[in-house]
């Protein structure tokens, strides 16, 4: 359960990046945030796990004792504690390239284990086993030992998902998880993220309305820092034009491409 | 119309700088009293002196092995301690890891160290510790900080900020960011730069030896001082062999080093 209330963020020059963003997300929902570049999608997502502090507004999340916590107002120490339970999948390339895939998965639990133990990479056998299981879920267990930098974009993104699974969060955030991938890899990744929403709310930023229409349970569209649509993921052409302006043609092309691949 | 290849206009802009360079060179030569006549005279005398040194005194070879080893050990220890200190300094001097104030102070210390020649540090340390290998090791360790500290700090600043954020965003603290996000990425650079610094330290340890840090540099200085030129020649051969061998070894190791996925 996550509640976002009235987020605003203004640049020193007066430009409004976020302008009263509010929404609620429950367990079981897979929310896709759409919008053209610079609309404030990623900024919103970064506010949700405290990587960015908004000028005003609040992000309420429930901690393990079911107490409400406002991510925008807590101190660094509490923020670290809250973040243990927030999984993130970034837009590719956020994994540590010179560590193995397995070690990158282990990083998911860094906040939860003893610091001193973690500094010596002292993971227990059970933890290693769970990490391997997580890798197995995304069909990457065979590549567990290989250096992450040598993996392909799709494989890296699967490791990132395994990392989130291993972390066992209560909220999952995904920032453009499929933008660097080809359509078929993108589909695989979406298929892997979707079932996670049964256990926790999943919020993702996407550039592909055809993907969100297919896999998400709800779509939020942001334009110039404001929510202009919140509801059914299947968007009409008119709605798409409202969101993207003239970029519509490109999207239709992508749909053709996807249909061709599906055949 | 075809452009004229050797037109005066093309070279006009070089004339003034060339005249200035020649004038400055001539001025510098007058100040330090250097002339071409003296250069050839000196060269002639140098070659004649070299003839006096030949042949090397091989009987001194065995007794010089220990000082040579001592020089290598000084360079090795200096490099190891220096590299370890440099990593700490580099982490503190990287803008993406440390507080702006801490960074400014550390960068200043690194720059300060770089501006002091090792030989000055050694002379100060000899006053503190007395003659011997100890001040040599400390001087070389400190000498590493100026170079390795800066190079490594710059490398750390090039690390993708997403990589650091992604560890912070699972609740990792600063130490975990360093151990999981930073060190794995820069270890190849650390090894490569440290090997390079080891080459420099071998040469410096010979030089520092002559000033009071012991080792084969001291043997060379001592032999010259006692006018035992054949013995000095042996020391020179040993020094050249030592420097050449370490450079080759370091080059070989650096070539073998896997830079896969590392920052270059």
By the 8 A CB rule, do B140 and B118 touch? yes
Mean pLDDT (whole number) for A201-229: 89
Helix and strand tally (H, E) in chain A?
10, 10
Q: Using alpha carbons only, give the angle A153, A159, A164 rounded to the nearest 5 degrees.
A: 130
Nearest chain B CA: its distance from A261 CA (Å): 32
Chain A residues with CB under 8 Å of B261 CB are 97-98, 147-150
Max distance between CA atoms of chain B, in angstroms, equals: 77
Helix axes B183-208, B229-256, angle to 10 degrees: 170
Mean pLDDT (whole number) for A70-83: 86
Q: Measured between CB atoms, does A93 come within 8 Å of chain B? A: yes
Q: Which of B165, B179, B185 sits opposite A119 (nearest CB)?
A: B179
By the 8 A CB rule, do B223 and B229 touch? yes
Q: Please give the CATH number for the structural domain made up of A1-85+171-263.
A: 3.40.50.300
Instruction: Give residue A79's Cα distance to chain centre.
Output: 18
In this model, does residue A153 exceed pLDDT 90? Answer: no
Asked whether residue B193 is assigned to any structural domain, the reply reads yes
CATH of the domain at B96: 1.10.3720.10
How is residue B67 written in tokens?
A: 């000082």
Q: What is the model's pLDDT at position A262?
A: 63
Query: What's the structural domain count of chain B?
Result: 1
Percent of chain A with pLDDT over 70: 92
Domain extents in chain A: 1-85+171-263, 92-168
pLDDT tier for residue A249 given thresholds of 50, 70 and 90: low
Q: What is the model's pLDDT at position B58?
A: 82
Give the residue carrying structure tokens 């802009």: B13
Chain B interface disruption, residue of A98, A108, A164, most B CBs within 10 A: A98
SS (H, E, C) chain B: CCCCCCCHHHHHHHHHHHHHHHHHHHHHHHHHCCCHHHHHHHHHHHHHHHHHHCCCCHHHHHHHHHHHHHHHHHHHHHHHHHHHHHHHHHHHHCCCCCCHHHHHHHHHHHHHHHHCCHHHHHHHHHHHHCCCHHHHHHHHHHHHHHHHHHHHHHHHHCCCHHHHHHHHCCCCCHHHHHHHHHHHHHHHHHHHHHHHHHHHHHHHHHHHHHHHHCCHHHHHHHHHHCCCHHHHHHHHHHHHHHHHHHHHHHHHHHHHCCCCCCCC
In this model, does residue B57 exceed pLDDT 50? Answer: yes
Short-list B237, B240, B230, B229, CA closest to B55: B230
Give the integer Cα–Cα distance in Å for A96 and B204: 37
Lowest-pLDDT range, A109-118, A189-198, B18-27, B75-84?
A: A109-118
First vs last C-alpha separation in chain B = 47
Answer yes or no: do A110 and B168 touch at CB < 8 A.
no
Give the integer Cα–Cα distance in Å for A101 and A110: 15
Give the integer Cα–Cα distance in Å for B139 and B126: 10
Chain A interface disruption, residue of B158, B159, B169, most A CBs within 10 A: B169
Short-list B87, B78, B103, B198, CA closest to B148: B87
Give the integer Cα–Cα distance in Å for A173 and A152: 22
Asked whether residue B4 is assigned to any structural domain, the reply reads no
Asked whether residue B46 is assigned to any structural domain, the reply reads no
Q: What is the pLDDT of residues B127-181, one digit of tens each?
A: 888 888 888 899 999 999 999 999 999 999 998 888 888 888 888 888 999 999 8
Give the CA distances from residue B35 to residues B18, B27, B42, in Å, rounded to whole numbers and listed in that order.
20, 11, 11
pLDDT tier for residue B264 given thresholds of 50, 70 and 90: very low
In this model, does residue A195 exceed pLDDT 60? Answer: yes
Whether the complex's predicted ipTM surpasses the cut of 0.85: no
By the 8 A CB rule, do A116 and A127 touch? no
pLDDT tier for residue B106 given thresholds of 50, 70 and 90: very high
Asked whether residue B26 is assigned to any structural domain, the reply reads no
Helix axes B229-256, B216-225, angle to 10 degrees: 160
Q: What is the model's pLDDT at position B103?
A: 94
Q: What is the model's pLDDT at position A263?
A: 57
Chain B residues with CB under 8 Å of A150 CB are 260-261
Chain B interface disruption, residue of A88, A96, A99, A149, most B CBs within 10 A: A96
- Domain extent for B199: 72-256
Give the global pTM. 0.80
Q: What is the model's pLDDT at position B261?
A: 47
Chain A residues with CB under 8 Å of B257 CB are none
Answer yes or no: do B172 and A93 touch at CB < 8 A.
no
């Amino acid at each position: 359960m996550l509640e976002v209330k009235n987020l605003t963020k203004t640049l020193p020059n007066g430009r409004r990046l976020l302008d009263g963003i509010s929404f609620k997300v429950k367990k079981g929902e897979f929310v896709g945030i759409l919008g053209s570049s610079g609309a404030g999608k990623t900024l919103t997502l970064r506010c949700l796990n405290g990587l960015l502090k908004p000028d005003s507004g609040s992000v309420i999340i429930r901690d393990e004792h079911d107490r409400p916590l406002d991510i925008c107002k807590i101190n660094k120490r509490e923020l670290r504690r809250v973040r243990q339970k927030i999984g993130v999948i970034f837009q590719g390339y956020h994994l540590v390239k010179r560590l193995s895939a397995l070690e990158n998965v282990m990083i998911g639990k860094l906040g939860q284990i003893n610091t001193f133990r973690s500094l010596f990479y002292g993971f227990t056998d059970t933890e290693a086993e769970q990490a391997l299981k997580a890798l197995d879920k995304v069909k990457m267990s065979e590549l567990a030992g290989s250096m992450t930098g040598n993996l392909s974009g799709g494989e890296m993104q699967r490791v990132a998902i395994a990392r989130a699974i291993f972390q066992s969060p209560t909220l999952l955030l995904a920032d453009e998880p499929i933008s660097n991938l080809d359509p078929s890899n993108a589909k695989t990744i979406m298929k892997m993220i979707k079932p996670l929403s049964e256990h926790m709310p999943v919020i993702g930023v996407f550039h592909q309305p055809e993907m969100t229409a297919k896999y998400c349970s709800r779509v939020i569209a942001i334009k110039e820092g404001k929510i202009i649509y919140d509801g059914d993921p299947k968007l009409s052409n008119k709605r798409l034009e409202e969101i993207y302006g003239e970029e519509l043609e490109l999207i239709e092309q992508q749909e053709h491409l996807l249909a061709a691949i599906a055949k | 119309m075809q452009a004229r290849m050797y037109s005066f206009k093309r070279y006009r802009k070089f004339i003034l700088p060339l005249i200035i360079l020649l004038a400055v060179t001539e001025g510098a030569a007058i100040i330090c009293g250097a002339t071409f006549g003296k250069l050839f005279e000196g060269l002639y005398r140098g070659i004649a002196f070299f003839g006096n040194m030949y042949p090397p005194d091989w009987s001194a070879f065995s007794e010089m092995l220990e000082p040579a080893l001592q020089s290598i050990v000084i360079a090795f220890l200096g490099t190891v301690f220096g590299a370890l200190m440099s990593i700490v300094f580099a982490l503190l001097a990287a803008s993406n890891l440390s507080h702006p104030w801490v960074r400014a102070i550390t960068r200043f210390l690194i720059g300060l160290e770089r501006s002091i020649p090792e030989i000055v540090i050694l002379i100060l340390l000899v006053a503190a510790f007395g003659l011997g290998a100890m001040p040599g090791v400390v001087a070389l360790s400190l000498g590493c900080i100026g170079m390795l500290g800066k190079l490594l700090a710059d490398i750390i600043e090039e690390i993708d900020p997403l990589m650091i954020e992604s560890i912070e965003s699972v609740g990792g603290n600063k130490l975990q960011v360093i151990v999981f996000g930073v060190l794995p990425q820069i270890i190849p650079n650390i090894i490569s730069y440290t090997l390079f610094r080891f080459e420099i330290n071998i040469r410096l340890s010979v030089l520092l030896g002559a000033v009071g840090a012991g080792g084969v540099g001291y043997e060379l200085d001592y032999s010259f001082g006692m006018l035992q030129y054949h013995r000095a020649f042996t020391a020179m051969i040993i020094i050249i062999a030592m420097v050449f061998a370490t450079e080759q070894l370091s080059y070989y190791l650096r070539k073998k080093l896997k830079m896969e996925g590392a920052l270059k």
